[in-house]
């Protein structure tokens, strides 16, 4: 049985931290499931960590569906959340509902995530009323990076902090079951967490949120030249991968690999017949 949004509510009530990690393919999803990560976000960060873009803006709904379908198919336990990408929900509540329904049906995710506060609340309400659970996302919303002028901490000043509080309350009133707080000062995230009945999931929002979300590639340092402050490296896999690929290159070039241990032998009789046939072809 998969984790449900009711479990999220219970975890907040019980003070049990909610752990969420992004995953985009069978390997990352299986690792999350194997260690018991309760929630997987198939985020549009895949544009940056999988597709190699410098923002999430080029990601399309078809891309998310492709990756989310894999994650849903290879897991049985975690709640799988599919991200609605740039401009797939901002044009009208009807457009949002149509695209959220595609994500649910084609990728079989349990719920969708979208970015925005007060202004997107009517859209959240429309999707939720149709039966689709919505996770909201406020603070630094990466799809609006061009409006923010970079990936900057949000809500440091009085007015922007007040706006974030209004956003959080509007999202909750609209029926969102959870909200991601990204790059928000820890004190403000704590205020919002205490104010809301729904769980807050922080990324760069300090230790007082009800849960935390991180990007798979960041915590494993799959990119060793990029280290955002809000993350922590639990391994240096990228460096190890680079060293392994370099060694493979070197060994093939030097004819060290493959050896007989990596090769397969033919039946001696079959080989003898073949050799005779080849020899007689050459002499004839």
Q: Where are the beta strands (DSSP E) in 4-121?
A: 18-22, 39-42, 79-83, 111-113
Any idea what DSSP says for residue 267?
A: P
- Category of 91 on φ-ψ map: left (φ > 0), alpha (ψ -120 to 50) or beta: alpha
User: Least CB distance from residue 6 to ligand KIV, whole Å?
Assistant: 22
Q: Where in 10-49 is the site for ligand KIV (CB under 6 A)? A: 22, 41, 43-45
User: Least CB distance from residue 93 to ligand KIV, whole Å?
Assistant: 21
Total residues interacting with ligand KIV, rule: CB under 6 A: 12
User: CB-based burial of residue 261 (10 Å sphere; 0-12 exposed, 13-18 middle, 19+ buried)?
Assistant: exposed
Any idea what DSSP says for residue 231?
A: -
Query: Site for ligand KIV (CB under 6 A): which residue of 213, 220, 221, 222?
Result: 213
> What binding mask, one character per residue, do residues 45-74 give for ligand KIV by CB under 6 A, x or -?
x-----------------------------
Query: Site for ligand KIV (CB under 6 A): which residue of 79, 215, 221, 222?
Result: 215
Given 94, 182, 194, 239, the catalytic residue: 182
Q: Phi then psi for 205, rounded to 5 degrees? A: -130, 20
Residue nearest to ligand KIV (CB): 43
CA distance 165 to 29: 33
* Largest interatomic CA distance in the chain: 93
94 an active-site residue? no
Q: Where in 123-182 is the site for ligand KIV (CB under 6 A)? A: 137, 180, 182
User: Least CB distance from residue 265 to ligand KIV, whole Å?
Assistant: 48
CA distance 155 to 183: 9
If the CB atoms of residues 90 and 240 are measured against ligand KIV, the closer one turns out to be 90
User: CB-based burial of residue 188 (10 Å sphere; 0-12 exposed, 13-18 middle, 19+ buried)?
Assistant: buried
Catalytic residue annotation: 182
User: Footprint of ligand KIV on this chain (CB under 6 A)?
Assistant: 22, 41, 43-45, 83, 137, 180, 182, 203, 213, 215
């Amino acid at each position: 049985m998969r984790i449900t949004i009711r479990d999220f509510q219970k975890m907040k009530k019980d003070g049990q931290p909610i752990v969420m990690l992004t995953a985009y393919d069978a390997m990352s999803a299986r690792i999350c499931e194997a260690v018991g990560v309760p929630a997987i976000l198939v985020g549009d960060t895949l544009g940056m960590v999988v597709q190699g873009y410098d923002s999430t803006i080029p990601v399309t709904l078809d891309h998310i569906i492709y990756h989310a379908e894999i994650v849903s198919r290879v897991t049985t336990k975690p709640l799988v959340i599919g991200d609605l990408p740039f401009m797939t929900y901002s044009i009208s509540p009807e457009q949002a509902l149509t695209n959220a329904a595609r994500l649910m049906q084609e990728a079989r995710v349990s719920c969708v995530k979208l970015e925005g506060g007060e202004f997107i609340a009517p859209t959240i309400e429309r999707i939720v009323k149709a039966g689709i659970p919505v996770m909201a996302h406020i603070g630094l919303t990466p799809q609006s990076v061009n409006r923010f002028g970079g990936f900057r901490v949000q809500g440091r000043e009085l007015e922007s902090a007040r706006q974030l509080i209004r956003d959080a309350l509007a999202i909750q009133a609209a029926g969102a079951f959870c909200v991601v707080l990204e790059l928000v000062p820890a004190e403000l995230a704590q205020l919002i967490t205490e104010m809301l009945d729904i769980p807050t999931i922080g990324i760069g929002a300090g230790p007082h949120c009800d849960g935390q979300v991180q990007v798979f590639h960041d915590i494993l340092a799959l990119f060793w030249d990029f280290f955002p402050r809000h993350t922590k490296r639990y391994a240096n896999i990228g460096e190890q991968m680079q060293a392994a690929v370099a060694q493979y290159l070197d060994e093939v070039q030097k004819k060290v690999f493959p050896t007989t241990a990596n090769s397969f032998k033919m039946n001696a009789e079959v080989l003898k017949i073949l050799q005779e046939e080849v020899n007689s072809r050459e002499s004839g």
